[in-house]
Amino acid sequence: MILDKSLIEQHNEKQSALHQKKLDTLTAVLSDEGHSVNAILDKIAAFQVAIPSWALGTGGTRFGRFAGGGEPRSLEEKIEDVGLLHAINQSSGAISLHIPWDIPQNAKAIQQLAASFELKFDAVNSNTFQDQQNQDLSYKYGSLSHTDKGVRDQAIAHNIEVIKHGVDLGSKALTIWLSDGTDFPGQQNFRRAFQRTLDSFQQIYAALPDEWKVFVEYKPYEPHFYSTVVADWGSSLLFCQKLGEKALGLVDLGHHLPNTNIEQIVSRFLMEGKLGGFHFNDSKYGDDDLTVGSIKPYQLFLIFNELVEGMQSAEVNNPELSWMIDASHNIKDPLEDLLQSVEAIKMAYAQALIIDRKALEKAQAENDVTQAQEILQNAYRTDVRPLLAQARLQAGAALHPVSFYRESNIREELVKQRGAKAFATGL
């Protein structure tokens, strides 16, 4: 399905008066505060979030999955869905593939299809947390950390194959979420599991093309419930230090123990020049994989506060970052969920952009704690939605993405084309 751009124009037309009024007031306020609204709009417009191919279908839990209709049945249809999102919000200009769920049969054709939607290929993702049919050896007891060299070799070979697919498509990074871990005390020797994993990582690292990066994601538990090999940012950093400059940490917001101060972790990675990117989502209990910004929007803002500060500071020397969503849409329409998620991410980014950083530095230097909070919260309390809407308007996207999606009956159309029982490959 290809979006008729005139629909967007009609949608925007109807709402433009009210939008303009809100924007004018906000522009006046921000200008008073010394901001260049145009510069902010440019930054917002340039900010693109990659969509993972596995998030276009309905997700589930171990207790079941309640499928929706019109899910993409192939890699082509997944690209088409991201193309729809990008046409609506002009903020989702990349797709992050998962191998083996998305092996392109004809890389060139796939690249052309993506290009027709103005999409790039972000990091490619390997999978050694499941057994695939016809796989020689099982990952039941681990993959890159396995005690059996044969299993490790198989997992290494898979990762190298993923890199090759990525090269064919124009990706520049490999994301490794290594689920390896244990369910019971004593099951493995922690140190040796680390060393075996390091050895595996090194072989994969050696296969990285120039200009490529590898992202080492961490997670404290699930699918294993006692320990994981890359459990926390400290372990991720340790692996990256030992691997070399192409290896960078990846932060998934749901991969932390209760009450973790994630924003300080972000700062630590940036300080060390070792932050690779993000998997955005939101959560209340564990790796709940909910819509970004639906549970802890202030935390998201605080994370972007670190990111904006770090990216602007001469004290920080970190490679460019990869922004990806990693969520599971169990009860919402996946495309609506993704539109909401991208909006939440950009809202936090915009709020972080309007923090009065000079004043904040002064308050910090003077230990003026009350004032530091006033400054941060003044940005957070500001309703920046008109800025996001304006950036979309200028880019030819919809003023209100979710409303537009609904008005245009996009899901109904997809169901018509693909059927009510279409089932996305993946989880």
Q: Which of residues 205-234 bind a copy of itself (CB under 8 A)?
A: 220-223, 225-227, 231-234
Q: Does 136 bind a copy of itself (CB under 8 A)?
A: no
| Nearest-approach distance from CB 19 to a copy of itself, in angstroms | 11
Block residue for tokens 């495309």: 335
Q: Are 119 and 164 in contact (CB under 8 A)?
A: no
Q: Are 254 and 287 in contact (CB under 8 A)?
A: yes
| Nearest-approach distance from CB 47 to a copy of itself, in angstroms | 18
Q: In what order do the strands lie in the sheet with 124-125?
A: 120-121, 94-96, 50-52, 322-325, 275-280, 247-252, 213-217, 173-176, 124-125
* Mask for 69-88, x = binds a copy of itself (CB under 8 A): --------------------
3-state class (DSSP) for residue 275: strand
| Nearest-approach distance from CB 289 to a copy of itself, in angstroms | 8
Q: Which of residues 310-339 bind a copy of itself (CB under 8 A)?
A: 310, 313, 315-316, 328, 330-333, 336-337
| Nearest-approach distance from CB 286 to a copy of itself, in angstroms | 6
Q: Does 105 bind a copy of itself (CB under 8 A)?
A: no
Q: Does 134 bind a copy of itself (CB under 8 A)?
A: no
| Nearest-approach distance from CB 302 to a copy of itself, in angstroms | 5
Q: Which stretch binds a copy of itself (CB under 8 A): 80-88, 108-116, 161-169, 379-387?
A: 379-387
Q: Does 187 bind a copy of itself (CB under 8 A)?
A: yes
| Nearest-approach distance from CB 211 to a copy of itself, in angstroms | 27
Q: Which of residues 272-291 bind a copy of itself (CB under 8 A)?
A: 272, 283-286, 288-291
Residue 30's contacts (CB-CB under 8 Å, 6 or more residues apart) are 37, 40, 354, 382
Q: Is 168 exposed, middle or buried (0-12, 13-18, 19+ CB in 10 A)?
A: middle
Q: Which of residues 12-71 bind a copy of itself (CB under 8 A)?
A: 18, 21-22, 25, 28-29, 32, 59-64, 66
Give the span between the Cα atoms of 22 and 203, in whole angstroms.
55
Q: Are 388 and 347 in contact (CB under 8 A)?
A: yes
| Nearest-approach distance from CB 207 to a copy of itself, in angstroms | 25
Of 183, 311, 317, 416, the one binding a copy of itself (CB under 8 A) is 183
Of 138, 202, 203, 394, the one binding a copy of itself (CB under 8 A) is 138
Q: Does 309 bind a copy of itself (CB under 8 A)?
A: yes
Of 112, 116, 190, 312, the one binding a copy of itself (CB under 8 A) is 190
The footprint of a copy of itself on this chain (CB under 8 A) covers a number of residues equal to: 116
Give the span between the Cα atoms of 409 and 398, in whole angstroms.
14
Of 4, 9, 13, 366, the one binding a copy of itself (CB under 8 A) is 366
Of 302, 352, 353, 354, the one binding a copy of itself (CB under 8 A) is 302
Q: Does 199 bind a copy of itself (CB under 8 A)?
A: no
Give the span between the Cα atoms of 305 and 384, in whole angstroms.
15
Q: Does 235 bind a copy of itself (CB under 8 A)?
A: yes
Structure-block tokens of residue 1: 């399905």
3-state class (DSSP) for residue 419: coil
| Nearest-approach distance from CB 372 to a copy of itself, in angstroms | 4
Q: In one letter, which amino acid is 397?
A: A
Give the span between the Cα atoms of 55 and 102, in whole angstroms.
12
Structure-block tokens of residue 91: 């903020």
Q: Are 342 and 65 in contact (CB under 8 A)?
A: no
Give the span between the Cα atoms of 71 and 259, in whole angstroms.
35
- Which is nearer to a copy of itself, 112 or 184 (by Cβ)? 184
Give the span between the Cα atoms of 306 and 263, in whole angstroms.
6
Q: Is 120 exposed, middle or buried (0-12, 13-18, 19+ CB in 10 A)?
A: middle
Q: Does 137 bind a copy of itself (CB under 8 A)?
A: no
Of 6, 136, 140, 320, the one binding a copy of itself (CB under 8 A) is 140
Give the span between the Cα atoms of 7 and 23, in whole angstroms.
23
Give the per-residue SS3 of 350-407. Answer: HHHHCCCHHHHHHHHHCCCHHHHHHHHHHHHHCCCHHHHHHHHHHHCCCCCHHHHHHH
Q: Does 370 bind a copy of itself (CB under 8 A)?
A: yes
Q: Which of residues 251-270 bind a copy of itself (CB under 8 A)?
A: 257-261, 263-265, 267-268, 270
Q: Does 420 bind a copy of itself (CB under 8 A)?
A: no
Q: Which stretch binds a copy of itself (CB under 8 A): 168-176, 202-210, 317-325, 370-378?
A: 370-378
Q: Does 382 bind a copy of itself (CB under 8 A)?
A: yes
